[in-house]
Amino acid sequence: MSNTSGPSGLSLRKKNFLKFALLAFMLLAVLVAWLGFGKKGFIHLYRMEKERQGHLERIRKLEQENKRLMEEIKRLQKKERAAVEPLGRRELGLVKDDEVFYRFTDQKQKEKSRAKPPGKK
């Protein structure tokens, strides 16, 4: 008679199968954990892709800003009055002869200036 026949042989086969299935499951679990959480795993890959997307968005915004500034430089090089005048007003605070310039201070700035003792910065 062989070892696999009869009731005791069947239970031995089941035990071996369960051991093999448990071992295979454990190896699969280790593999999945390594692929997911490892140094170069899927989670790391996902984070790097999100970071890459953020950098691409920042590059896109910087390219738009660069294009806008290049257009402004071209207008200023042509000495277009319509381009130079707003720049002088914005950067230097210039006003026309028939204009009145009003400067409003923020309430918080007034409180800060009052709180400082005279002569100290």
- pLDDT, residue 1, reads 44
- Residue in 46, 27, 21 with CA at minimum distance from that of residue 36: 46
What count of other Cβ atoms lies within 10 Å of the Cβ of residue 12? 13
For the chain (121 residues), the mean pLDDT of every run of 10, in chain order, is: 55 86 91 81 87 97 96 80 74 76 74 63 48
- pLDDT, residue 104, reads 79
- pLDDT, residue 119, reads 56
Q: Which residue has the tokens 């700035």?
A: 109
What's the predicted TM-score (pTM) here? 0.44
Whole-angstrom CA distances from 65 to 20, 26, 41, 82 are: 62, 54, 36, 20
- pLDDT, residue 8, reads 64
- pLDDT, residue 120, reads 52
Rounded Cα–Cα distance for residues 56 and 33 (Å): 30
